[in-house]
Amino acid sequence: MARKNVLLLVADDLGKQLGCYGCSYIKTPNIDKLASEGIRFDYAFASTASCSGSRSTIYTGMHTHQNGQYGLQSGKHHFMTFDHIDTGPAILSRHGYLTGIVGKIHVGPDAVYPWEYKAESLTRDVFWSADRAAEVFEASKADGRPFWLTVGYHDPHRDRTRGGFGNDEPFDAGIKKVKYRPEDVTIPEFLSDTPGVRQELASYAEAISRLDQGVGRILDKLRQSGLADSTLVIFISDNGPPFLNSKTTLFDAGVRLPLIIRHPELPASVNPNLVSYVDVLPTILEWTLGPAFNALPKSDERAGRSFLGILGATERQPGWDHVFGSHTFHEATNYWPTRFLRTERYKYHRNIAWRLDFPFANDLYGSLTWEDVRNNVGAADPAVEEKKIGARPLRDYFFRPPEQLFDLVDDPAEVRDLARDPAYAEVLAELRGRLEDWQRRTNDPWLYRDGVSVLLNKHHLDAGLAVPDKWDLDVDRPETKGDGIKMYENKPFGVKGPRS
């Protein structure tokens, strides 16, 4: 197969609320069909749980603390990818590809993401998106160049109302409105069962069914173009559902997401390996460039690795048993840097700014869900019963310790923190060490000692500065001299090793 195209479909704020992932009440026949024809990953993880940041990791193969897209690109937030980053659109453009993007872009600057064809829009008209995609398919056929097209849907993101998901916005008359009743929804483990939650989940489900129709339409257009047999189709989401306990958090509800890939030459299967969104670009590059992929200039910054070689695996493969992630901002006012390491069984969180309250994204603050939670709606006695989001006490959502450890076999909702349990001391120490080694390998400015960045003070450390081996400044014991004070060991940054 000489020609190798890529169609990347990116949903907006979609978790595993799909039939092919076990959601029984939301109708997603087109995405389910894609899954039945392709490879469905059950352990695919976003590196971060925010729209712009997550998209940047997909297009760069780097975590946000590497590529500079620390938070949202839009509006007053204006976070941007570093000017020197070599992105997927830039690389494939140099290799003769027609690169294009339709719909939501949400990363910048333009010079770093030089898509040749751009049809930017936040429309919910998923048929409009399919028609623009068809233009790219035809252009690719006309000039003989292979394509990489990204379609960024705005569904099922919230709209700007209290509990809406764009279901009353204008779109093609051929798109069916699939309605859901609040009483018929299934409450996910990370949410509480309240009237506001049910109302929002029903509206959210309608937006997902609209997204599904768009996916079906665009795959029909691809088939009609005659290019389906030479196209790698990837369906992915940027972060988890726009609800508390999910979006903007690094809990699994926010980062363990759908990833479906239809490879023209591989049979349908379920892949059980742990992969990260930073692995998507290297996989695309290996698929498109073939042997030339190995001849690309090696980037010391790129964290991801191609999973093309294990794409059809149906059993766990050596080395694909963990992922890392980083979150620093959502909106400019949502600073709460945290890092995580996820293995097959455990999840370790390092909450760097743990002394700060966990911040609200504005769409979550205005939601009916939060209105119900704060007023303890659904409790038998709201004045007495503890306020919770799902099984998590409200206090534990907003106030988190500097590190957390969860056993996901016994506690998939990440509610019971084991970090201070002596029985897990060895597990905690191992995962803490692995995470900090990864932070050094990826030149993470948010590896802290004594309340400051170790990386940004590396020149002082190299000159002999002594720093206490504590994450935060201890105002009661600030001394660096005296008996019994353990000092930080000055270790190198940017060293080689697995970075995903």
Give the count of beta carbons closer than 10 Å to the beta carbon of residue 260: 24
The total of structural domains in the chain comes to: 2
**Structural tokens at position 404:** 């957390």
Kindly give the confidence (pLDDT) of every residue in the chain, 500 residues in length, as a single tens digit, with 9 standing for 90 and above. 478 999 999 999 999 999 999 999 999 999 999 999 999 999 999 999 999 999 999 999 999 999 999 999 999 999 999 999 999 999 999 999 999 999 999 999 999 999 999 999 999 999 999 999 999 999 999 999 999 999 999 999 999 999 999 999 999 999 999 999 999 999 999 999 999 999 999 999 999 999 999 999 999 999 999 999 999 999 999 999 999 999 999 999 999 999 999 999 999 999 999 999 999 999 999 999 998 888 787 766 789 999 999 999 999 999 999 999 999 999 999 999 999 999 999 999 999 999 999 999 999 999 999 999 999 998 889 888 999 999 999 999 999 999 999 999 999 999 999 999 999 999 999 999 999 999 999 999 999 999 999 999 999 999 999 999 999 999 999 999 988 899 999 999 998 766 77
Name, in order, each residue with C-beta under 8 angstroms of 177's C-beta and a sequence gap of 6 or more: 167, 206, 210
Same domain, 68 and 207: yes
Helix (H, G, I), strand (E, B) or coil at 4: coil
**Is 372 part of a structural domain of the chain?**
no
Question: In the prediction, which pLDDT does 1 show?
Answer: 47
Q: Rounded to an integer, what is the distance from CA 183 to the centroid of its chain?
A: 30
Q: What is the pLDDT of residue 498?
A: 65
Tell how strand 98-103 and strand 117-120 pair up: parallel
CB-CB contact of 9 with 104 (8 Å): no
- Angle at Cα 396 formed by Cα 321 and Cα 44, nearest 5°? 25
Q: Looking at 275, 291, 320, which one is the last position of a domain?
A: 320
- The pair phi, psi for residue 157, each rounded to 5°, is -60, 150
Q: What pLDDT is attached to residue 2? A: 72
In a domain, 407, yes or no: no
pLDDT at 300: 64
pLDDT at 484: 87
Give the H/E segment covering residue 99. Answer: strand 98-103
CATH number at residue 55: 3.40.720.10
Among the three residues 320, 355, 378, which one is the final residue of a domain in this structure? 320
Instruction: Report the alpha-carbon angle 88-93-99, nearest 5.
Output: 75
To which residue do tokens 């352990």 refer? 43
Domain holding 485, by residue range, is 448-500
Token pair, residue 438, equals 């990864």
Structure tokens at 148: 């990489």
* Burial of 298 (C-beta count, 10 Å sphere; 0-12/13-18/19+): exposed
Nearest Cα residue to 104 out of 245, 250, 230, 211: 211
Residue 27 β-bridge partners: none
Establish if 34 belongs to a structural domain. yes
Answer yes or no: 23 catalytic.
Answer: no
pLDDT of amino acid 190: 97
The last residue of one of the domains, among 268, 292, 320, is 320
Say which of 8, 51, 98, 126 is annotated catalytic: 51
Identity at 79, one-letter amino acid code: F
Task: Name the strand (E) or helix (H) holding 10.
Answer: strand 5-11
